[in-house]
Structure 1
Amino acid sequence: MNAIITGATKGIGRAIAFKLAEAGYNIIFCARDQQDINTLCDDLIALNPSVSALGLATDCSDPLQVERFSGFVQQHFDSVDVLINNVGVFIPASILDEDESDFQKQLQINYLTAYHLCRIFGRQMREAKKGHIINICSVAAISPVVAAGSYSVTKAALLSLTKVLRQELMAHRVKVTAIHPGSTLTSSWEGTSIPTERFIAAADIADAVLCCLMMSVGANPDELLISPSGGNI
Structure 2
Amino acid sequence: MEINLKDRRALITGGSRGLGRAMAESFAHAGADVVIVAREVDVLAETCSSLTAIRPSGKFLGVSADISDMQEAERAHAEAVSFFGSVDILVNNAGTSNAKPFLEVSNQDWLQDFNLKFFSAAQLCRLCIPDMRKQQWGRVINTLNTAAKAPGAASCPTSVARAAGMAMTKALA
TM-score (norm 1): 0.69
Q: Does 1:55 align with 2:62?
A: yes
1:43 aligned to 50, 53, 62, which one? 50
Supply the AA of the counterpart residue of 1:161: M
Judge conservation of contact 1:5–1:13 (CA < 8 Å) in 2.
Answer: yes
* SS of the residue 1:134 aligns to: strand
Which of 67, 89, 93 is the matching residue for 1:86?
93
Instruction: Provide the residue aligned with 2:124 in structure 1.
Output: 117
Q: Indicate the SS of the match to 1:143.
A: coil
Match of 2:112 among 95, 105, 117: 105
- Residues 152-231 of structure 1 mapped to structure 2, 5 A cutoff: 152-166=159-173
Gaps of 5+ in 1: 167-233
Aligned-residue sequence identity (percent) comes to 34
8 Å Cα contact 1:24-1:50 kept in structure 2:
no
User: Separation in 2 of the partners of 1:79 and 1:9?
Assistant: 21
Residues 56, 69 of structure 1: 8 Å contact kept: yes
Bigger Rg over Cα: 1
AA at the equivalent of 1:16: M
Q: Which runs of 4+ in 1 moved over 6 A?
A: none
Matched position secondary structure for 1:61: coil
How big is the shift at 1:12?
Answer: 0.4
Alpha-carbon offset, residue 115 of structure 1? 0.3
The Cα offsets for residues 119-155 of structure 1, whole Å up to 9 and x where unpaired, read as 1101111121111111101101111122012111100
- The answer on whether the counterparts of 1:24 and 1:51 sit within 8 Å (CA) in structure 2 is yes
TM-score scaled by structure 2?
Answer: 0.92
- The answer to whether structure 1 residue 133 and structure 2 residue 137 are counterparts is no
CA drift of 1:97 comes to: 2.4
2:12 is aligned to 5
Let me know the Cα RMSD of the aligned residues.
1.0
Q: Distance in 1 between matches of 2:70 and 2:99?
A: 23
SS in 2 for 1:137: coil
The DSSP-based 3-state class of the residue aligned with 2:104 is: coil
Corresponding residue number in structure 2 for 1:16: 23
Q: What is the CA distance between 1:99 and its match in structure 2? A: 1.5
Q: Is the 8 A contact 1:137 1:159 kept in 2?
A: yes
Equivalent residue in structure 2 for 1:68, among 62, 67, 75: 75
Aligned to 1:27: 34
Aligned-residue offset at 1:44? 0.5
For residue 5 of structure 2, what is the aligned residue in structure 1? none
Residues 93 and 142 in structure 2, CA contact (< 8 A), matched pair in contact too: yes
- CA shift, 1:108, in A, is 0.4
Unpaired runs of at least 5, structure 2: 1-7
